[in-house]
């Protein structure tokens, strides 16, 4: 007979979980494995709320398994190490992002691209090597193989660093891989949300000229004055679109709702690249002719490998790149999910696990 989540492993753990497709989160007792020889155990201090969490707790992608403890923007302090761990020491600040395992034998894994391994194990809502479910960061502690642990540089604020473990790497990786994050390149960022606002910061730090492309004229002042974008384009304004046709080297599209692609392809120069990092839950319409004329590329990108994730965090620390966050207590999490669904957050909720989780224990 299958063991309950509380009895599967030796280390008692407490968090908040969704039980069904309502997505409602509530207190949940479960367990984590003992610290293996290559494992790092840490006390969770903060965890970001990603749009993926919202899709997952409500089973909008059709792959959810309950009960589910979400959260894959996790930071905290190391409390215990396995005997073979070399990367960190007790007391270090560390993070875990979207994945906690992979096959380590395939071409992707050998090239430090564990995120593209066919057997990648996600931080929550996945089956671990031992057959048990993985649970995420809306909880008091975490244990992970050291390969999947990111060192947080000294002096980097933990609360604003947490969202970079998903949102940050999601935009940093395509900027680097597709050759867009280079001085003088003109880069468009579509959507000014959790992903978009950090994309602006990384692109600027990499030396790009950055234009925010949004349906909301109300975000113009925020984009230019607060986030440091060079210009702002209202995607519903035909005159503005027309004037900017053929002027972008690349566009990072962060929007997770269905939206027209053709106008964005029109903004690209010949050989320009449109990179999708948002994940709409319905197919987008792709006009082939818009790609053919100008030999344009449309591609996707999903997070990044562990080596690149560490590189991204170190780059962010060096350039003082932080996510703009609203810190919340654990008992506010259901309200935060409602607000996130309406886009009512600037720009990422981060749960103060360290100071507020214990008080919610029944």
CB 277 within 8 A of CB 251: no
Q: Which two tokens stand for residue 183?
A: 């001085």
Q: Any bridge partners for residue 237, and if so which?
A: none
pLDDT of residue 182: 96
Catalogue the E-assigned strands of the chain.
11-18, 25-32, 39-49, 74-81, 93-96, 99-101, 121-122, 141-145, 150-151, 186-190, 209-214, 231-234, 248-253, 268-276, 297-300, 325-328, 348-352
Q: In CATH terms, is domain 11-166+305-360 a member of 3.90.180.10?
A: yes
| 3-state DSSP helix/strand/coil % of the chain, to nearest 5 | 30, 25, 45
Cα 21–Cα 24–Cα 25 angle in degrees, nearest 5:
125
CB 199 within 8 A of CB 171: yes
pLDDT of residue 6: 85
- As a whole number, the mean pLDDT across the chain is 96
Residue among 36, 237, 11 at smallest CA distance from 135: 11
> Would you give the DSSP letter of residue 330?
G
Give me Rg for the CA atoms of the chain: 20
Distance linking the first and last C-alpha atoms of the chain:
27
Topology match between the domains 11-166+305-360 and 169-300: no
CATH superfamily of 169-300: NAD(P)-binding Rossmann-like Domain (3.40.50.720)
pLDDT of residue 277: 96
Can you state the angle between helices 306-318 and 194-205, rounded to 10 degrees? 70
Per-residue pLDDT tens, the chain, 362 aa: give them. Answer: 578 888 888 999 999 999 999 999 999 999 999 999 999 999 999 999 999 999 999 998 899 999 999 999 999 999 999 999 999 999 999 999 999 999 999 999 999 999 999 999 999 999 999 999 999 999 999 999 999 999 999 999 999 999 999 999 999 999 999 999 999 999 999 999 999 999 999 999 999 999 999 999 999 999 999 999 999 999 999 999 999 999 999 999 999 888 999 999 999 999 999 999 998 878 899 989 999 999 999 999 999 999 999 999 999 999 999 999 999 999 999 999 999 999 899 999 999 999 999 999 98
pLDDT of residue 1: 55
Question: Number of helices and strands (H, E) in the chain?
Answer: 12, 17
The predicted-structure confidence for 260-279, as pLDDT tens digits, reads as follows: 999 999 999 999 999 999 98
Question: What are the residue boundaries of the structural domains of the chain, listed by start?
Answer: 11-166+305-360, 169-300
Whole-angstrom Cα distance, residue 161 to residue 47? 10
Residues 6+ apart with CB under 8 A from 348: 48, 49, 163, 167, 194, 323, 324, 325, 326
Residues 6+ apart with CB under 8 A from 106: 117, 118, 119
């Amino acid at each position: 007979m299958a063991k309950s989540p509380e009895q599967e492993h030796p280390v008692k753990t407490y968090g908040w979980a969704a039980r069904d497709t309502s997505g409602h989160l509530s207190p949940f007792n479960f367990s984590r494995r003992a610290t293996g020889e290559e494992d790092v155990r840490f006390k969770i201090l903060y965890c970001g709320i990603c749009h993926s969490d919202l899709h997952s707790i409500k089973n909008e992608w059709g792959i959810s398994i309950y009960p589910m403890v979400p959260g894959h923007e996790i930071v905290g302090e190391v409390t215990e190490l396995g005997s073979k761990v070399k990367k960190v020491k007790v007391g270090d600040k560390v993070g875990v992002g979207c994945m906690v395992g992979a096959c380590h034998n395939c071409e992707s894994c050998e090239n430090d691209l564990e995120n593209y391994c066919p057997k990648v194990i996600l931080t929550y809502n996945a089956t671990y090597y031992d057959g048990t479910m993985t649970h995420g960061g809306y909880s008091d502690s975490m244990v992970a193989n050291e390969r999947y642990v990111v060192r947080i540089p000294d002096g980097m604020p933990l609360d604003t660093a947490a969202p970079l473990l998903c949102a940050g790497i999601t935009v940093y990786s395509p900027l680097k891989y597709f050759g867009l994050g280079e001085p003088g390149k003109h880069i468009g960022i579509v959507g000014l949300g959790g992903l978009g606002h950090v994309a602006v910061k990384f692109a600027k730090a990499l030396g790009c000229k950055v234009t925010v492309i949004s349906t909301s004229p109300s975000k113009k002042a925020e984009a230019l004055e607060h986030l440091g974008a060079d210009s702002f384009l209202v995607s519903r304004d035909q005159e503005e679109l027309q004037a900017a046709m053929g002027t972008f080297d690349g566009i990072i599209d962060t929007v997770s709702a269905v939206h027209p692609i053709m106008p964005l392809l029109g903004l690209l120069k010949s050989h320009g690249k449109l990179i999708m990092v948002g994940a709409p839950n319905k197919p987008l319409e792709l006009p082939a002719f818009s790609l053919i004329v100008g030999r344009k590329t449309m591609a996707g990108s999903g997070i990044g490998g562990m080596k690149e994730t560490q590189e991204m965090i170190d780059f962010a620390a060096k350039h003082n790149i932080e996510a703009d966050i609203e810190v919340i207590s654990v008992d506010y999490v259901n309200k935060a999910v409602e607000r996130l669904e309406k886009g009512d957050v600037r720009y990422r909720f981060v749960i103060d696990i360290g100071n507020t989780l214990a008080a919610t224990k029944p």
